[in-house]
């Protein structure tokens, strides 16, 4: 099946620094990718929709200046957490839709961010 990768799988950073997370579709192209966030014992929550060649759209309550999204190519979207704070510590997951009839999506393995 389709494969989506993320890098890094985990990262620890100091408060105030920025962290970039990459999401790649390895064997298919995706003009749209999605970024989710998952806090412990909670379900996935959509943060933003990444669109190749245009600006990302953010969910209500998600700061676009803090979570910068760049969809650089048909196989790569990046999420940069700027000026990270401990409350940004979370599990970040991306997904990309396939071209199957039902447009099922494949999810990356996730990135565990810990801000100290």
Partner 1 sequence: DAKTTQPPSMDCAEGRAANLPCNHSTISGNEYVYWYRQIHSQGPQYIIHGLKNNETNEMASLIITEDRKSSTLILPHATLRDTAVYYCIVRVANYGQNFVFGPGTRLSVLP
Smallest gap, in angstroms, from Cβ of residue 44 to partner 1? 4
Smallest gap, in angstroms, from Cβ of residue 16 to partner 1? 26
Q: Which of residues 34, 78, 90, 115 is near partner 1 by CB under 8 A?
A: 34
- Total residues contacting partner 1 by CB under 8 A comes to 27
Instruction: Check binding of 89 to partner 1 (CB under 8 A).
Output: no
Instruction: Check binding of 101 to partner 1 (CB under 8 A).
Output: yes
Segments of the chain assigned E as strands: 4-7, 10-13, 19-25, 32-38, 45-51, 57-58, 67-73, 76-81, 90-97, 105-107, 111-115
| Collapsed DSSP state (helix, strand, coil) of residue 61 | coil
Q: Which of residues 19, 21, 88, 97 is near partner 1 by CB under 8 A?
A: 97
Q: Which of residues 3, 26, 104, 114 is near partner 1 by CB under 8 A?
A: 104
Q: Is 63 exposed, middle or buried (0-12, 13-18, 19+ CB in 10 A)?
A: exposed
109 vs 65: CA distance, rounded Å: 25
Nearest to 19 by CA among 4, 34, 9: 9
Instruction: Check binding of 68 to partner 1 (CB under 8 A).
Output: no
Q: Return residues touching partner 1 (CB under 8 A).
A: 1, 4, 6, 32, 34, 36, 43-46, 49, 91, 93, 95, 97, 99, 101-110, 112
């Amino acid at each position: 099946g389709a494969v989506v990768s993320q890098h890094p799988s985990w990262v620890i950073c100091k408060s105030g620094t920025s962290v970039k997370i990459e999401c790649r579709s390895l064997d298919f192209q995706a003009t749209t990718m999605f970024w989710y966030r998952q806090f412990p014992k909670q379900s996935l929550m959509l943060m933003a929709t990444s669109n190749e060649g245009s600006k990302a759209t953010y969910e209500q309550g998600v700061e676009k200046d803090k979570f910068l999204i760049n969809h650089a190519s048909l196989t790569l979207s990046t999420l940069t957490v700027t000026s990270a704070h401990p409350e940004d510590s979370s599990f970040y997951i991306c997904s990309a839709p396939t071209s199957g009839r039902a447009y099922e999506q494949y999810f990356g393995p996730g990135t565990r961010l810990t801000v100290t």
